[in-house]
Structure 1
């Protein structure tokens, strides 16, 4: 075993189940000490009675690893600051933050309530920003004290954030926002020894059970392409010192597939050198569109 995370302290949000749990176990298997955060809420963000974070900590310890649970709400300043504080007070350092926490409240836009919009944007986007902010403040202080870290942040976007997804306007907007946050954070924090990347994973979790209903188990015990554990090796590598020099990138990961996503960039263009007349715009824009690549289809849309 490589144990590429020996000595590192890793925080994983939303780590009680699904992808987060898989990440926490994978980091621990590679030698990391893990802070397992989970608020213990249901799929829609409503309070639940159990403590999944404690169960994951017990799993890690049973395998000989080190872990501690944190049950705070990372979409609040109090929860985010206490999350970083738990890592520092328990293990004396922080090396990697994996932002993963989230839930769904799917509705078509005309039926989407303001509360459902706010709740999903809050947990996904604000729940990424606040832990990132407070971890970055610690690493900036370390760099200014001439202890520049080899720090890593791995954010969790989605194909819905890259292409859109019918019935998930709130989720798609939040996940697209996470990509923008990742790019800005990578540019701002590099001087402090912090690399920031994002993944757009596809895996079977509580959030995607309906989407992957036809792929609930591997046939005849073969490779389960939808297992959340397939995503974790990339996350562990991005969260380790081995990923030196990789920052500001978005990776799509599913089963055995890893792809570097290429974001918005200028395509076909023309410049008149003067203001366009309205009557000219139709022909100009249609000509540019004819020369441009066709964008990927929005998930759930009908494609002819």
Structure 2
């Protein structure tokens, strides 16, 4: 996806895709575009606290507006984590798909400790316009449109982005212990189109989320929700993530889904998933089946 930086809202951090998979980082401010120095990636920006993050962005040099090709706003080693069963709808959907283990999802929804799981490392993450995937051995696959927060090494939330937590509901529904196989595979995570800084995105608990699956050029499914329905706040989820581990280069944490397609809908190769989050932007990705189409 290519866009001119003049069309990007201020208080936005973007990753420009370069040859060979490299990235150049820019920040769009009310005064124009600024470019981070060579060798400065997301990990360097997130390596301290929120104050250090803001200082690093302020030190970026002004550059003229220009067209950039957007890449996933992560480094190759960025850790992406996710939370599950954080909305009532998600709890009900998980209970429906896994009748023999329905009480597991009921318990985790009401428990003090949230469900958190590792989702992807940066090099596996798809960016704007890049393909997401469904497993070749799965029969029921869905997009999960989610607000994701970007955390500094201190655990502070410094920005937000859009995440598509693609999942196999048939595999997870067979047995909850299969969750890593249902959630973590090639093409299962997309993030973008950029990172909206905390100054630009506003209250994380008032954002509208819309999602759609398109097939053969027309709508197949649409859903919408709001982060006001989150059972746990993004700050609470981030606190739990950082309680037992360190993230010296920061982390991205996806906060769970509430717009859930029903059992009559499953992703197929050739579909297109479109997710819009108010105040952040749009993430759109075509769908592939199996890992072969992703190369190495």
Q: TM-score scaled to structure 2, two decimals?
A: 0.29
The structure with the largest alpha-carbon Rg is 1
More contact order relative to length (CA 8 Å, sep ≥ 6) = 2
More strand as a share of residues: 2
Q: TM-score scaled to structure 1, two decimals?
A: 0.28
More helix as a share of residues: 1
